[in-house]
Structure 1
Amino acid sequence: MAAGGRGGTIGAVSSGETQRFWPRGAATGVGSMPGIDAAEAAAVVFGELPEFPHLPELPARGVGADVIGRAAALLVDLAVEVVPSGYRVTARPGRDHRRAVDLLRWDTDAVTEAAERSRPSVVKTQVAGPWTLAAGVELPRGHRVLTDEGALRDFTDSLVEGLAAHVTELADRTGARVVVQLDEPTLPSVLAGALSTPSGYGTVAAVPEPRARELLGTVVEAARAATGCPVVLHCCARRPPVGLLHASGADAISLDATLLRGAPGALLDEIGEAWDAGVTFLLGLVPSVEGEARLKLKELARPAFDLVDRLGFARETLAERAVPTPTCGLASADNDWVRRALSLARDLGKAFVEPVEGW
């Protein structure tokens, strides 16, 4: 179990309602930021989100900085290289793998410096979940890792081991508790059997939900054991598999709340069951890129209000059970909007605690 930084050893997450390690009304980001300057990105995140900052990801740097490369940097005794079709398993770490490891190290250094100035009590780090990672890396013959049960098991074990070392280092370096967010953008395609085969003429067989839930739950449990903190599962798909994420043991679920308008009753039932069970929701409410219209805070909060209204919960529960975020990563945003978006997310969190008159 990782050390707890300020305040002593991290205790176990309580059963039932998720134990919150961040203040009421806190906001956070999804993960990615624009540009290539890790120090600047960390300064912006820790400055705008002082109560619940996160380790920034900078995919504009290219190989090793994207969601698969970041996860590959954590792997123990496994390595990847880049081929024309993407990432592929290789016998030993080469230039591509070493670059991914170096980028993550530089990002950790930048976060350490930012944390020394702001002294946060909790920091979030993001990594590709097991299904997204296994879908995004090829075996030597070109098939995806998820098609080989032995390789899938090896990759999952390696990811778990590397993630434990990463969060321990991050806790030691920042003096903060560490919340892990597992990103599963590819999970809906894995479940639907929508991933292409190497030939491009067929699709990989759909993974049954019980198997998907089992493997994801293994990583959730390991991440929770390594940190003693809640584990977030993130999927910004239009129709995220909330029921599966909940059943996998997620303490918190991150999704794009602006896509829930007109959501089918089955999805709302899944969200309601998770909410009723004590799961926290990281609600994407602030656009990831600036639009033509300048939205007011009340308009940005509307999807959250509509959600709890439709579920039959009091709006006051948002202060306890919701964390505002941008709708997804901010990699495509300009620098001015990044600061504005994170500031708006922070203002939404405060408004959930102390609602503005007339809302």
Structure 2
Amino acid sequence: MRATGIGSFPGTEQRDQDEALAMVLGELGGDEQGLPFLPEVPGRGAHATMVGRTLGLVGELDADLQPSGWRLTGTSGSLPLDQRRGRSLLSQDLDGLEERASGRTGGFKVQVAGPWTLAATVERPRGDKVLADHGARRELAQALAVAVADHVADVRRRLPAATELVLQVDEPALPAVLGGGVPTASGFGRHRTVHPPEASDALRWVLEGSRDAGAVPWVHCCAADVPFDLLRGAGARGVLVDLSLLDADGHDAAAEALEAGDTVALGVVPSEEGGPAGDAALVERVQRWIDMLGVDLDRVSGSLLVSPACGLAGASPAWARRAIELSRSVARSLTG
């Protein structure tokens, strides 16, 4: 059994990013029980958020930053300044990673925002979300598929000794997209439901892009109603979830994924201080879950990870470190 994190960390400056990376590599990069990852420090500004970093990768569409958030410009040519800043900041983070970890073997994980979370967040040139326009959301997903393939190739070049590269596609908005729960610009209505076949197609393009470039595609969805079947049908070989949010169907779907040999990362460590935070209590929680599913822990432990429930951007620096330490400790205890 391994331990990992979701991605985000607290902080507001570049040194916070550097310290987070050093901590992740120190806690999770020492042996095969850890899956280290590239931290994100969104407190550095809009260009450092999940959406800003991902749009920086998407060279086929232009986007700029408005008071309401990120917006596609509908123009082509050189990337707008805000998009270039997002790309530059991510490149700077990758430079730091390469400097510290280029010779490391084992696995490594990087994260991008998924096509449906982008569609539910980014605006069209004339207003409202990309989600409102079938053609625009298709174009965005296809551009993202190209971008993640290039991103994976870049990370592989920087980490040539890594034996496994995981691309985590963050889709916190996907359940709302499928359920017609994303608000319109006015706030008085909701965008129409996106039906599963279309949702699956867009995800498949992105996941296949990462897989063809040499990464193992996972999807993170720390929300209720995680659509396990849709994610796995689209090509996700791993799903990261908040265990406290899973309903009965979610538990069953997680068991099916494990039985099939796919990865499940259990978010059991609180993302902020509070709740059960001792090693023994968290180990017992995972063991109870395994017993409830009726699966053999020894048989599925290679496909099971322990992580914080969600990102750590809202935590204190001390708790962010403690959450990663606890994830590693719980995984070690369950493996032993």
TM-score normalised according to structure 2 size: 0.91
Quick one: which of 128, 148, 153 aligns to 2:133? 148
Give the conservation status (yes or no) of the 8 Å contact 2:4–2:37.
Answer: yes
Give the conservation status (yes or no) of the 8 Å contact 1:231–1:250.
Answer: yes
**Gapped regions of structure 1 (runs ≥ 5):** 1-24, 355-359
What is the CA deviation profile of residues 228-266 of structure 1, one whole-angstrom value per residue up to 9, with x for unaligned ones? x42111000033222222222211110011334xx23x3
Map of 2:195 onto structure 1: 208
Map of 1:218 onto structure 2: 205
Map of 1:288 onto structure 2: 271
Quick one: which amino acid aligns to residue 28 of structure 1? T
Map of 1:328 onto structure 2: 310
Deviation at 1:318, TM superposition (A): 4.7
* Structure 2 Cα separation of the partners of residues 220 and 28 of structure 1: 20
Give the conservation status (yes or no) of the 8 Å contact 2:59–2:79.
Answer: no
Give the conservation status (yes or no) of the 8 Å contact 1:146–1:152.
Answer: yes
Map of 2:219 onto structure 1: 233
Secondary structure in 2 matching 1:73:
helix
* Structure 1 Cα separation of the partners of residues 6 and 122 of structure 2: 23
Deviation at 1:339, TM superposition (A): 1.9
1:297 and 2:285 equivalent? no
1:133 and 2:134 equivalent? no
Map of 1:12 onto structure 2: none
Give the conservation status (yes or no) of the 8 Å contact 1:49–1:346.
Answer: yes
Quick one: which of 54, 58, 71 aligns to 2:41? 58
Deviation at 1:267, TM superposition (A): 2.5
Deviation at 1:81, TM superposition (A): 1.1
1:26 and 2:24 equivalent? no
Map of 2:70 onto structure 1: 87
Deviation at 1:120, TM superposition (A): 3.6
* Structure 1 Cα separation of the partners of residues 261 and 239 of structure 2: 11
* Structure 2 Cα separation of the partners of residues 105 and 214 of structure 1: 29
What is the CA deviation profile of residues 57-116 of structure 1, one whole-angstrom value per residue up to 9, with x for unaligned ones? 110011111111111011022121111221100225333212111110111011112204
Deviation at 1:294, TM superposition (A): 6.8
1:272 and 2:255 equivalent? yes
Secondary structure in 2 matching 1:137:
coil
**Gapped regions of structure 2 (runs ≥ 5):** none
Deviation at 1:138, TM superposition (A): 0.8
* Structure 2 Cα separation of the partners of residues 221 and 195 of structure 1: 26
Secondary structure in 1 matching 2:188:
coil
* Structure 1 Cα separation of the partners of residues 136 and 315 of structure 2: 37
Give the conservation status (yes or no) of the 8 Å contact 1:67–1:127.
Answer: yes
* Structure 1 Cα separation of the partners of residues 5 and 98 of structure 2: 18
Query: 178-187 or 189-198: which moved more?
Result: 189-198
Deviation at 1:274, TM superposition (A): 1.9
Deviation at 1:56, TM superposition (A): 0.8
Map of 2:331 onto structure 1: 349
1:49 and 2:49 equivalent? no
Map of 2:108 onto structure 1: 123
What is the CA deviation profile of residues 138-190 of structure 1, one whole-angstrom value per residue up to 9, with x for unaligned ones? 11111221222222222122111111111111111122242100000000110
1:243 and 2:229 equivalent? yes
Quick one: which amino acid aligns to residue 182 of structure 2? L
Secondary structure in 2 matching 1:54:
coil
Map of 1:8 onto structure 2: none
* Structure 2 Cα separation of the partners of residues 96 and 190 of structure 1: 27
* Structure 2 Cα separation of the partners of residues 173 and 131 of structure 1: 28
* Structure 2 Cα separation of the partners of residues 67 and 303 of structure 1: 30
Please tell me the root mean square deviation across aligned C-alpha atoms, in Å: 1.7
Quick one: which amino acid aligns to residue 27 of structure 1? A
Secondary structure in 1 matching 2:213:
helix
Quick one: which amino acid aligns to residue 10 of structure 2? P
Deviation at 1:39, TM superposition (A): 1.8
Secondary structure in 1 matching 2:35:
coil
Map of 2:180 onto structure 1: 193
Secondary structure in 1 matching 2:3:
coil
Deviation at 1:311, TM superposition (A): 1.5
Quick one: which amino acid aligns to residue 290 of structure 2? V
Secondary structure in 2 matching 1:185:
coil
* Structure 2 Cα separation of the partners of residues 326 and 85 of structure 1: 30
Map of 2:95 onto structure 1: 109
Give the conservation status (yes or no) of the 8 Å contact 2:9–2:312.
Answer: yes
Quick one: which amino acid aligns to residue 234 of structure 1? H
* Structure 2 Cα separation of the partners of residues 296 and 197 of structure 1: 42
Give the conservation status (yes or no) of the 8 Å contact 1:128–1:182.
Answer: yes
What is the CA deviation profile of residues 289-328 of structure 1, one whole-angstrom value per residue up to 9, with x for unaligned ones? 122x673212112332222222210232352121111111
User: Against the structure 1 CA distance between its residues 120 and 60, is the aligned structure 2 distance closer, same or farther, given a 3 Å change threshold?
Assistant: farther
Give the conservation status (yes or no) of the 8 Å contact 2:276–2:282.
Answer: no
